[in-house]
Structure 1
């Protein structure tokens, strides 16, 4: 690693928010990487405490400032990768590097630590993600461990330095349907870094013409049973066939999904609620259901409707709204 980032002119690496896939890829290839964690923010900043980047050779994932400091962080990461010594970086107000300015006027404090491919804590972190369980990453920059306990996104002690960073399971979006609106929602979900599954009962044998985590041709109830549902999962019923969408919504509600919605006209809401109640849905479950979901006023084209729905799902699954 030479401190240069590939494609720095077009920093698409900043689209990455969950660095675990980058850590897993490097570990599988037998490569050490540098994990950078933003642990303190003073004043205004584009990212909050807990934001992370991974430096793997000349490749980077994640971002802190939107191009103000990433190149310099990469230079320090190259030295950490070589000597294994953790480093604490301070940018902005009070920083020793007066030539590196933050446009927002705040200050950022970042820990760099080298992670070897056989690091036991790394493999525990990835195991928890695969099993869709929250965990805490504990590190002083040299010694690391992972615990199954819950907590705030980031907790910190200064003397001696020690941080604990919470990781939740990857956000997941399950869309059932095959019309332009359903496909737009699945496409936007995948672009927005959701682990996205498209469910299309008896759909075409060929997969959708855009990347998704999985394509299932079975009924939504069967798909949800095989995939599993948890509070980091969103389900959107968009087949427009109640015998599919109602069953999928009921299964998602009973699995305590973080978001459950069903596309359709408002005039159909009363009948759908009555059908769900007759199927055994509780009042609490019905109150959690989003009928005619999405942010209003964006328009009625497939992309406009999908944008409003995905934005509403983001709000519902936003980890910052969870445990503090």
Structure 2
């Protein structure tokens, strides 16, 4: 494999769009940026953190994606270190885009670049590979995401393939060099309701980069005043069944109408959603559980239901309640994704 040795060329840090305010680091899933690049006919440089030694802000499998804009400036999605190495990785990514040859980069302890220091004291190893806009393997990766099927991206930087199914988040073979990164379906949250609390949950989920769907039965014709993946005016049970749920999906019932929320929860539980919750007073829990049991919910399904979700001690304002619920969703949908 013609992987460039990092000791041969050390580019200056690249000028990245929005570098002054690096909001590009908010995105954890680079697949939407990859899809946008491929649709516009642009190549992309995919950078994967494949090995970490010592302490580091991100664990193995974290990714960044780099593309060139119309002005020739490099645009980034994702982050590795909180501004320790991103600019330098961008410089290498620009050369990978220009030359086509992958690079393996080594930062921190043991690196040949003594002028690039990691404040955490660890070491990071990154593979940067160019993805052409017509790459069939990348297209297959995106197809798995659309169809909500887990898959594994296997690459040595030049030769790559996608295999259906999961496994470890990332596995590494040193000789011959190959990485295998698990790619789960995009995390998705379905929120039913239209009061300030439901809107706060939906808004925070969208800001957290979940694929967010708001469902309000017979709600306003005008869409919500913030960006969402979709807004539906049908019953929650109908929406959940038509959308389909899986263990990478969450459902929050917040219409405060039991005939809507209970139906949505039952559909989400039976579909295997990774998180199912219903907002409401704790005093209503026994009657709600009895109603779900009468509707056919199993004991195992009821054990997975979170009634009165959220975190105690945060307060009862819409944003405080929503913050606790979103934190629970993040925990439920992100088991062992990164090491601490």
Q: TM-score band (shorter)?
A: over 0.9
In the alignment, structure 1 residue 148 sits paired with structure 2 residue 138:
no
Deviations 1:140-182 (A, max 9, x none): 0000100103210100000110000000000000000000000
Residue matched to 1:80 = 96
Tell me which residue corresponds to 1:69: 85
1:45 aligns with 2:56: yes
Distance 2:337 2:290 in 1: 31
**Secondary structure of 1:101 counterpart:** coil
SS at match of 1:23: helix
Q: CA deviation at 1:89?
A: 0.5
Query: SS of the counterpart of 2:336?
Result: helix
Gapped regions of structure 2 (runs ≥ 5): 1-12, 69-73
- Aligned partner of residue 260 in structure 2, secondary structure: helix
Match of 1:186 in 2: 202
Correspondence 1:244-283 to 2 at 5 A: 244-283=260-299
Residue deviations 1:173-206, cap 9 Å, x none? 0000000000000000000010000000000000
Give the equivalent residue in structure 2 for 1:203: 219
Structure 1 gap segments, 5+ residues each: none
Which of 24, 28, 32 aligns to 1:17? It is: 28
In 2, Cα distance between the equivalents of 1:4 and 1:307?
35
**Separation of aligned partners in 1, 2:312 and 2:168:** 33
Find runs of 4+ consecutive structure 1 residues off by over 4 angstroms. Answer: none
Q: Given the two structures, how large is their TM-score scaled by the length of structure 1?
A: 0.98
- Are 1:115 and 2:115 matched, yes or no? no
SS state of the match for residue 139, structure 2? helix
TM-score by length of 2: 0.93
Tell me, in whole angstroms, the C-alpha distance in 1 between the residues paired with 2:77 and 2:120. Answer: 22
Q: Is residue 127 of structure 1 aligned with residue 123 of structure 2?
A: no
Distance 2:15 2:242 in 1: 43
Q: What do the CA deviations read for 1:12-51 (whole angstroms, capped 9, x no partner)?
A: 0000100000000000000001000000000000000000
Provide Cα deviations, 1:272-301, integer angstroms capped at 9, x if missing partner: 000000000000000000000011110000
> 3-state DSSP class of the match of 1:320?
coil
